[in-house]
Structure 1
Amino acid sequence: MSGSTRRLSLQFLFIFSIVFLMLLTSGIFIYQGMRGSETALVSAAGESARQLSATLNERIRRLLEPAESTLRLLSFDSISAATSMPERLGRLQVFSEVVANNPMIGAVYVGYPDGEFFLLRKLATEKQRNYFSAPADSAYIVQSRSLQPDDSITGEWRFYDRNLRLLDRWQMSTYQFDPRSRPWFMRASESNDVTLTPPYVFFSTHEIGVTLARRSADGLAVIGMDASVSDLSAEMRSLQMTPNTRIAVIADDGKVMAYPQIEEHLQRSRRDISLPMVQQLNAPALEYLYKNPPTKTGPQSFSVNGTDWFGVVEPLTAVHGNHSSVYISLPANELLAQTRSLMISNLKLTALMAVVLIIIGWILGHRLTRPLQRLTDQIQALTEFNFGSQTRINTRLKEVHELSGVIDKMTATIRNFLAITHVLSQETRIEAMLEKVLRRLVAATGLSGGAVYLWNEQENCFVLAGTTAVSDCPTRIHVQQQPDGSVTRNERLLSDQLPASDSWHEVVLRNREQELLGVVALKVPAEMQHTDKADFHYFVNEMTGVVAIAIDTRQLIESQEQLLEAIIKLLADAIDAKSPHTSGHCQRVPELAILLSDRASRSQQPRFRNFSMSEADRTVFRIAAWLHDCGKITSPEYVVDKATKLETLYNRIHEVRTRFEVLWRDAELDYWRGIASGEPETLMQDQLHARQQQLQEDFAFIANTNIGGEFLDEEAVVRIQQIGDQLWVRHFDDRLGLSQEERERYDRIPHPALPTTEQLLADKPDHIFHWHGRRPPVEHDNPANRWGFDMRAPEVAYNLGERYNLGIRRGTLTEEERFKINEHIVQTIIMLDALPWPRPLRDVPRIAGSHHERLDGNGYPRRLTSPQMSVQEKVLAIADVFEALTAADRPYKPAKPLSESIRILFFMARDQHLDPSLLHLFLESGVYLEYAHRFLKPEQIDEVDIPGYLQKLEELLGVSV
């Protein structure tokens, strides 16, 4: 048989046969029943439509017949011959009885050939009274037009209560209703019987109705009455067969005479209100039915906008002379809802029966094919590389049972081998890795337990690294001498010191260089002790060989990590040792930063709820903290240590003092020259003393200015210039005794002839040190700036000018020297970014180089803002500042107490220098105090108003932290 032939299982065929026959039979019966029910329902709908049409005809007859009878009686009333208003009002009682006793009649009126008009209208509702602005108790209104002697016609309205008492009368000059122009007047004048108008909207009340009119018996007037058919539209709602059935009375010209909620569809213009056309009902089914009337009796099926409908049209005969029909459209889904519901119920019952039969068929088929199917599934799982399932088949078939057991063992072995490879690739701790691998190795080989020993070269012994299913193995096994490379993998090194009650199989572990790594000792159960086959030993040795490679790799990684940690700490120690100004800064900052970051990762405050640190994150942060100032290794020591304004590699105040000494000697020489030339000795002594006193004062001022302890005002700067303008004579060449680099710098400057006169304090060209290609790329628009720096570098690298340095307003550093100190963070980022960091450590340069940034974007070197900084970067900034404030080993400043340090931290947080939420956590969690007890002197730990600072920080944050 072809390999592509589809094969069917016995269980499937068994189930399929039962279910197919049942579904086929049920489907035939359900279809026949549904078709019969639909036919019956459609026929019933047609009969209901005919009954509805008959009902409407009957209701219209009941509405119109009493009105016609009343109208015939009124045609003999004397009001037709009344020529004056009092005569007509004399018939008011008769007219009121007509409208009061017939609720459908809203008004009775008389029209005369000369244009006069008399109408009585009942005001039954508040809406009608409001429409005519009638008095409160009005029950009737009389509207009349009377012919005056001058042939003019005047209008008048009279309001009466229920007892026909006159309440008010209005002269209505605007009431220009001429009955002779109305259709009812004209039609009745030409007929001897009652005439009936088509339904229309009454001019005064906006109700829908018809007008009945008849010429009086004497032929002198036309009597009419308005009969409202608005209730007919309301009653049509009760005749709907389904919720969305549409019923309408439509004339042949398409005008809708009755329809539920017809008031909403009335067509209003500025002068008139008319009945809607069928197209204006927003009823597509009725519109379709009107345009496509049925050609045969009974319901017609049609579809509109994807919806199926049934339509019926029945003529309306109750309104004489008015050709109209009743149009009924029924949605098919509602008309046939009951049938379809019954069909669904039958289908559900059929489905239930199918499920029951499937279950029965499945149970019967499963009992027949279950063992073979499960065996097939086991083998199929292996072909699909699924080694997770292990289920022994319990069956009476011996061969199937044994084959299932073999497959289970093979699956378990493969699964344990895969688990070993997973552990070797994922577990970073060597002890945990060895214990997990050993457990899987024991399970894969069917042994009862085992132990792993690692070779400790320093102690010349094997150290227990992990066990499984054994508990009495010694933790250390000493040997007389280190095993050498001649030891084979199967040599027994530990058996003499392992529990003698058990049988052990040892495998010696070696690396690629055949150096001893350790020993794997496997406990062999009693039932397997006879197994001494080469295949078993080969399998175990190969499995443990993978372990040896993993151990060697892990030890190499750990040694490299230890070397990296040592180099990092060595660099930090070198920076601290390089300058007494940093001292232990690089060691203490990581301690404080790790303390605060751990508290932030464990904090439940809303601001830190999404912040957490894995072990890898902690490693990155620890390395970044240790290296945060590594760029200081490039900072010139004399700049970092500069304590006076004239200090470079030495304090140049001594040069200045020597020049003052020269001027002192010059003053003495001037004294003796004056004496020799015959000047009065007293005068010369006074000049000498005055000059020497001035020199003493000037040097004292320059020396004090050199310290830089106070702010230098403009007056002091002017005095420096004045003192510096004094001249002295240099007789010796300043180009002698120079280094090669310094001589090259002087060669670019003109060489004056000796002796030469120089200023006491000068800013010379040789004081300027240019960048000469070493300008750091810190400007934002610098093409070489690939680190995102945003700083301004000074024009020159250094300016050692004496006046320039003495003129420093505050402190001892020039702009160039301050940039050189700040440049250490630039060099930190450049140095760290140049290293080939592995992927998990790639954030080290970013974190290490951001602790001088500010939240408001005014920090350096990249002017980052708060959203651009991570929590770790903000933590490192706080740690860096707090350590610097509290350090007690700085030679240039005393250590600050806790209270002053925290006060400064708060001001920096307020000024958007530090993160307020982290400072809040720093204080609230007690990190500051924990650090203080470890690194601060006892006298520094004073009282701090922590609650007060916390409240201020919460106000600063604007929310409850």
Structure 2
Amino acid sequence: MHGTRQSAQISLAPLIASAITLGMLLLAIVLVAQSFRGMESAKVTAARSAAKQLAVSVDDRILAITAPPSTALAVLSHDPLARATSLDARMARLPVIADILQSSDIVSAVYAGYRNGDFFLLRKVRSSGVLQFPDAPQETRFLLQTITREGGDPIGEWHFYDADMQPIQRRVVGDYTYDPRSRPWFNTAAASNTTELSAPYVFFTTHETGLTLSRRAATGPETSGAVFGIDVTVTDLSHQLTELRQTPDTRIAIVNADRRVLADSGAKGVADPAISAALDAAGKTAEDEPVAHYTVDNRDWYGMTEPLAALEEENLTIAVAIPADELLAEVWDTLFRQTIIAGAIALLLLVLGWFLGRRVGRPLERLTDQVSQLSRFRFDTSVKSDSHIREARKLSVALDDMAKTIRSFQSISTVLNRGQNLNELLRDILEQIVHILGQERGGIYLFSRQDQTLTLAVNEGLELPSAIEGLTTDTSDSDIIRLLQDRISGHPVFAILRNRGKSLVGILVVEMEMGDHTQLSDDLILFVDEIAGSAAVAIETRELIESQQALLDGIIRLVANAIDAKSPYTGGHCERVPKLAHMLIDEAVASTDSTFGPFSMTEEQRYEFHLAAWLHDCGKITSPEYVVDKAVKLETIHNRIHEIRTRFELLHRDAEIHYLTTVLNGGDEPRARSRRDEAQAKLQDEFAFIARTNQGAEFMEDADIERIREIGAYTWQRHFNDRIGLSSDEEQSVADLPDPPLPVTENLLSDKAEHLRPWGDRIPPVQKNDPRNRWGFDMKLPEYADNRGEIHNLTVPRGTLTEEERFKINEHIVQTICMLDALPLPDSLANVPRLAGTHHERMDGQGYPCGLNAEDMGIPERIMAVADVFEALTAVDRPYKKGKSLTESLTIMSTMVTNGHIDRDVFELFIRSGTYRRYAEEHLRPEQINDVNESLFMNTD
């Protein structure tokens, strides 16, 4: 401490003066900076508003570009050109096409495509001020491009016309094989009754950027399926953008969803780094505005983007980049002037601050030596000052009182912060308060809200009643004290313990038997009340911690019970697995075996494992019930075997009808009856086979699978519309499928397109290369989210679940990890998601969801896996299977050890410690508990 004081170079007085001056100077700097930020924000806001207005202007221009050609196209759809089937007939309508082409500078081509592949197009040879066909004759102003297929092979011809539409030259172009039927504009318009507008794109022949408007010819028997189109250019948008720049170096561009530049102010396109940076920074903010601030080529820029309402489906965006030095030029000039003024004011304040600092610092300097004693924790030091400054004198008195108060609080604060167990905390609080007051005896009562009773929790040497009744939560402090005075004799002082919500927590009783108890000062009583208030908060906090932990345990059991209650097939699983896992953990901790000898767990780790065990299957709450409960192969929400039985019934009835028809028509009745009986018997046999297959209990041979496909190939007639009475999900599945006219011949069993349910945007992040996968999942994702195909389900080789449904079952562990990882768990519970989510991993790395191997898992994870497997094998509350006996279960688990599924050391500990039998005696039925030859399952190496 002495060396530290010697190293000081600045006395207290100049330090205070410097601090005051620095504060004033800092205030000036802050004000200037705020002024700059305000002006900068105003400029940014103005730029943002200008960008919005620019977007509106561009929208209007795009609408102005597309409206006139759309009108002309609507008129053209009724023109006889749609009915013309020869080139001469189409040439006769050339003046009409020429009038439309010459009506607007932005129309670059007018054309018609026909269903047979013919094409008839008139275009300007000079568009956007550029000659598009340099090899055309000198006087050429228009080019007619035609393709006809009168003889089968396409014949391409180019006809050149002057400004008066007089022919100049005709060329046969052999390699001109353009087919309008392959173009999007033709197919889109052919399927529509309105004018269709394409996205901006580069034209095939002229390489200009523009739009195509197309419309199907008016419906009629002679239209030949014609589709008319008009190409319009948007080149003049770039000139308009150039004129709308706010500063000389402002960059403006219009881009589509693929970031292709359609128009820009500087003809730099997507290569312009300022525009590219503005697009990359879309969504970021500057000055609380949706404007991005970035640096490109050592120059600061402000960038903003605005969606265009025109051509909404094309997601057009206008991007604006403004150099910061140009936008903020006026701001910097104003800032310079304000800085000069602020500097002058700061200089004046420096002189004034130094004078005031000296006046305040001198008396405080005299207190330094006295206060330094407090810095060495000597709170018994008297702090006095003879300063004529009133504040300095009051400070010395306050510091002296503070030292005394700190001595009193040191003892009690240690107790309040140290207590963990509530009973120990209460005893320590009473001991310290009694000592501070200089007394020897006391007690603490705790209030029970349920019983409306004060119960004695701690007593030091007093004869106090064990309980005091007659109180409510609304009883005032004065009434409580009167009641206590009637029940407790002597000279006690009472402190009412209330929590932060002013609710009654308890009562502190101290017997004032040392000294003159009649001279209790108000300050002492207030001090006792304040200490009691701190004790009440500490008591409340400890009670809250204990009640919150109890609440957390209750919620976890509630979730686990809800999962078990969701499906009758897994009832009790979430409750039994934790019990078995805890039994194994205790054995592992107590084991002296080399594998488990170093293993131990703290209380926090045990609680962490306890939570993980209860929540190990919490993801099952997201698993569809119809998959979890699937008992037969064709079951979804219901068992679809009934639909297939109905189809068999139809075929059975058809055989009967065929027999009766044959008899009525005079046919051979015995022969017809024989055929009917044979067909009906075969149907009975094959439906019985399908019904057995639906059970899914045995492994299917290849011959059975082939037989299902052969049966499925039988056909039947459907006479009713299967597109009515559907749910929205079913309607969506058939929306893009053709609806054939009735009656329809259908297969007896089929895998239809509507049976497939794609993932869409609901793909779970389980694949290793998925950027959303931050948990390390490594699972195979089925091609479809669901496949309800009848043959697909019936040909499942083993069990009832398809690949898609098996994934849904397995996905519950993914959901378990994701759900638990989303919880704001404290550090002491950070491993809960891992402990709960690894019980389906295998020692050989073939498990899921992360493909971990033995080296990746600790003893708790391996124990969880063994507990989960054994409970599943022996469970008796699953209707689709019988609970296995101890020997059967251990035999299966022994095979799983050999196959690298579960850990051998944990399995042998499970047997050697007798844990399996203790668990069985509590949870298994008597017939499951048989004599087990444990040596058969132990490693003899």
Which TM-score band applies after superposition, normalised by the shorter structure? 0.5 to 0.7
Give a deviation string over 1:911-957, Cα, whole Å, max 9, x none. 222222222322233322222222222222221223553454xx3xx
SS of 2:716's equivalent in the other structure is: strand
Q: Which residue of 2 aligns with 1:441?
A: 433
Return the offset for 1:419: 5.0
The CA distance in 2 between the partners of 1:420 and 1:909, in whole Å, is: 58
Using the size of structure 2 for normalisation, the TM-score is 0.56
Q: Which residue of 1 aligns with 2:641?
A: 653
Give a deviation string over 1:724-780, Cα, whole Å, max 9, x none. 111000001111111122212221221111100000000000110111111101011
SS of 1:518's equivalent in the other structure is: strand
Q: 1:793 aligns with which of 766, 774, 781?
A: 781
Seen in structure 2, the aligned counterparts of structure 1 residues 936 and 783 have a Cα distance that, compared at 3 Å, is same
Contact 1:805 1:814 in 2 (8 A): yes
Q: Which residue of 1 aligns with 2:495?
A: 507
Q: Which residue of 2 aligns with 1:841?
A: 829
Q: Structure 1 residue 484 and structure 2 residue 474: aligned?
A: yes
Q: 1:524 aligns with which of 512, 519, 527?
A: 512
Q: Which residue of 2 aligns with 1:494?
A: 484
Q: What amino acid maps onto 1:477 in structure 2?
A: I
Q: Which residue of 2 aligns with 1:556?
A: 544
Q: 2:617 aligns with which of 625, 629, 652?
A: 629
The CA distance in 1 between the partners of 2:484 and 2:530, in whole Å, is: 20
Seen in structure 2, the aligned counterparts of structure 1 residues 426 and 796 have a Cα distance that, compared at 3 Å, is farther
Q: 1:723 aligns with which of 711, 730, 742?
A: 711
Seen in structure 2, the aligned counterparts of structure 1 residues 608 and 420 have a Cα distance that, compared at 3 Å, is farther
Q: Which residue of 1 aligns with 2:582?
A: 594
Seen in structure 2, the aligned counterparts of structure 1 residues 476 and 754 have a Cα distance that, compared at 3 Å, is same
Return the offset for 1:896: 1.4
The CA distance in 2 between the partners of 1:487 and 1:600, in whole Å, is: 55
Count of residue pairs the alignment pairs up: 557
Q: Structure 1 residue 565 and structure 2 residue 557: aligned?
A: no
Q: What amino acid maps onto 1:486 in structure 2?
A: S
Q: 1:475 aligns with which of 462, 466, 475?
A: 466
Q: Which residue of 1 aligns with 2:726?
A: 738
Contact 1:417 1:440 in 2 (8 A): no
Seen in structure 2, the aligned counterparts of structure 1 residues 945 and 503 have a Cα distance that, compared at 3 Å, is farther
The CA distance in 2 between the partners of 1:751 and 1:888, in whole Å, is: 49
The CA distance in 2 between the partners of 1:938 and 1:413, in whole Å, is: 70
> Structure 2 stretches of 5 or more lacking a match?
7-370, 381-401
SS of 1:595's equivalent in the other structure is: helix
Return the offset for 1:571: 1.2
Q: Which residue of 2 aligns with 1:466?
A: 458
Contact 1:645 1:812 in 2 (8 A): yes
SS of 1:464's equivalent in the other structure is: strand
Give 1:207-286 correspondences, 5 Å limit: none
Q: Which residue of 1 aligns with 2:867?
A: 879
Seen in structure 2, the aligned counterparts of structure 1 residues 940 and 504 have a Cα distance that, compared at 3 Å, is farther
Seen in structure 2, the aligned counterparts of structure 1 residues 474 and 920 have a Cα distance that, compared at 3 Å, is farther
Q: What amino acid maps onto 1:487 in structure 2?
A: D
> Structure 1 stretches of 5 or more lacking a match?
7-378, 389-409, 956-961
Q: Which residue of 2 aligns with 1:404?
A: none
Seen in structure 2, the aligned counterparts of structure 1 residues 690 and 490 have a Cα distance that, compared at 3 Å, is closer
Q: What amino acid maps onto 2:663 in structure 1?
A: I
The CA distance in 2 between the partners of 1:488 and 1:511, in whole Å, is: 17
The CA distance in 1 between the partners of 2:875 and 2:448, in whole Å, is: 42
Q: 1:780 aligns with which of 768, 775, 778?
A: 768
Return the offset for 1:432: 2.7
Which has the higher mean CA deviation after the structures are superposed, 486-495 or 514-523? 486-495
The CA distance in 2 between the partners of 1:544 and 1:951, in whole Å, is: 64
Seen in structure 2, the aligned counterparts of structure 1 residues 838 and 589 have a Cα distance that, compared at 3 Å, is same
SS of 1:606's equivalent in the other structure is: coil
Return the offset for 1:652: 0.6
SS of 1:441's equivalent in the other structure is: helix
Contact 1:453 1:466 in 2 (8 A): yes
The CA distance in 2 between the partners of 1:837 and 1:823, in whole Å, is: 22
Return the offset for 1:418: 3.7
Contact 1:489 1:508 in 2 (8 A): no
The CA distance in 1 between the partners of 2:4 and 2:644, in whole Å, is: 105
Seen in structure 2, the aligned counterparts of structure 1 residues 471 and 917 have a Cα distance that, compared at 3 Å, is farther
Return the offset for 1:460: 1.1
Return the offset for 1:672: 1.5
Return the offset for 1:545: 1.2
Give 1:185-584 correspondences, 5 Å limit: 383-385=375-377, 417-418=409-410, 420-467=412-459, 469-470=460-461, 472-479=463-470, 481-482=471-472, 484=474, 486-488=476-478, 491-498=481-488, 500=489, 502-527=490-515, 529-584=517-572
The CA distance in 2 between the partners of 1:486 and 1:530, in whole Å, is: 24
SS of 1:618's equivalent in the other structure is: helix
The CA distance in 1 between the partners of 2:539 and 2:569, in whole Å, is: 45
The CA distance in 1 between the partners of 2:568 and 2:640, in whole Å, is: 21
Q: What amino acid maps onto 1:491 in structure 2?
A: I
Which has the higher mean CA deviation after the structures are superposed, 517-526 or 582-591? 517-526
Q: What amino acid maps onto 2:580 in structure 1?
A: L
Q: What amino acid maps onto 2:823 in structure 1?
A: L
SS of 1:837's equivalent in the other structure is: coil
Seen in structure 2, the aligned counterparts of structure 1 residues 545 and 646 have a Cα distance that, compared at 3 Å, is same
Contact 1:485 1:515 in 2 (8 A): no
Return the offset for 1:412: 12
Contact 1:416 1:443 in 2 (8 A): no
Using the size of structure 1 for normalisation, the TM-score is 0.55
Seen in structure 2, the aligned counterparts of structure 1 residues 886 and 4 have a Cα distance that, compared at 3 Å, is closer
Contact 1:778 1:789 in 2 (8 A): yes
Identity %: 48
The CA distance in 1 between the partners of 2:759 and 2:730, in whole Å, is: 15
The CA distance in 2 between the partners of 1:893 and 1:814, in whole Å, is: 19
Contact 2:473 2:503 in 1 (8 A): no
SS of 2:493's equivalent in the other structure is: strand
Q: What amino acid maps onto 2:444 in structure 1?
A: V
Contact 2:449 2:473 in 1 (8 A): no
Q: Structure 1 residue 682 and structure 2 residue 673: aligned?
A: no
Return the offset for 1:492: 4.8
Give 1:745-784 correspondences, 5 Å limit: 745-784=733-772
Contact 2:439 2:514 in 1 (8 A): no
Q: What amino acid maps onto 1:856 in structure 2?
A: D
The CA distance in 1 between the partners of 2:409 and 2:599, in whole Å, is: 38
Contact 1:488 1:508 in 2 (8 A): no
The CA distance in 2 between the partners of 1:872 and 1:864, in whole Å, is: 14
Contact 1:632 1:828 in 2 (8 A): yes
Contact 2:751 2:792 in 1 (8 A): yes
Contact 1:856 1:913 in 2 (8 A): yes
Q: Structure 1 residue 903 and structure 2 residue 891: aligned?
A: yes
The CA distance in 2 between the partners of 1:896 and 1:651, in whole Å, is: 28
SS of 1:608's equivalent in the other structure is: coil
Which has the higher mean CA deviation after the structures are superposed, 834-843 or 750-759? 834-843
Q: Structure 1 residue 709 and structure 2 residue 697: aligned?
A: yes
The CA distance in 2 between the partners of 1:871 and 1:417, in whole Å, is: 47
